[in-house]
């Protein structure tokens, strides 16, 4: 007679649990962990369980949309219409297809930077001129525009 024994062992580190079926010749061990949202046991290797993953993804997407709305409220409508316009989307995609590497670090380029910023009158006139473009990765583009950098407190203050 073959008996299947379910073995459960709690590993104290990180709420990980090993579950396995033991029998006459041993069995497979599956690592389980606790979903941080609903606290149910789930297979190790994913951040959230199958029930919570789409909910968390939808929440993240909503937060991203809200952040974009806040950003766009501060942005001049002229530039918002330019960057959301079909002509720019097609032009920038075509440029990235022909310039796949970041001009600064050599990583995969994801964004097109205007060398002469479009906020200047001459930059606005050259906004579709490819000689005014350079392909950059997101990190280099953020560095170029000094975005998301920690502000240093004033010295001697």
Domain ranges of the chain: 7-43, 76-144
Average pLDDT, the chain: 83
Closest CA to 66 of 58, 77, 76: 58
User: What would the mean pLDDT of 111-127 be, rounded to a whole number?
Assistant: 96
Look at the domain 76-144 and name its fold: 3.40.1800
Residue 74 pLDDT: 84
Closest CA to 92 of 74, 122, 118, 71: 118
Largest CA distance in the chain: 86
Query: pTM of the entire structure?
Result: 0.55
Residue 26 pLDDT: 54
**Tokens 């953020």, residue located:** 142
| Confidence label for 20 from pLDDT (cuts 50, 70 and 90) | low
Residue 2 pLDDT: 29
User: What would the mean pLDDT of 11-18 be, rounded to a whole number?
Assistant: 47
């Amino acid at each position: 007679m073959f008996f299947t024994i379910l073995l459960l062992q709690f590993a104290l580190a990180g709420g990980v649990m090993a579950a396995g079926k033991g029998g006459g010749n041993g069995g497979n061990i599956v690592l389980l962990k606790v979903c941080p949202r609903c606290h149910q046991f789930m297979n190790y290797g994913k951040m959230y369980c199958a029930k919570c993953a789409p909910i968390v993804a939808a929440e993240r997407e909503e937060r991203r949309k809200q952040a974009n709305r806040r950003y766009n409220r501060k942005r001049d409508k002229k530039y918002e219409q330019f960057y959301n316009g079909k002509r720019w989307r097609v032009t920038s995609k075509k440029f990235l297809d022909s310039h796949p590497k970041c001009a600064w670090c050599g990583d995969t380029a994801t964004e097109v930077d205007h060398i002469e910023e479009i906020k200047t009158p001459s930059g606005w006139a050259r906004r579709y001129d490819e000689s005014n473009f350079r392909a950059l990765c997101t990190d280099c583009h953020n560095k170029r525009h000094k975005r998301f950098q920690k502000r240093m407190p004033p010295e001697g203050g």
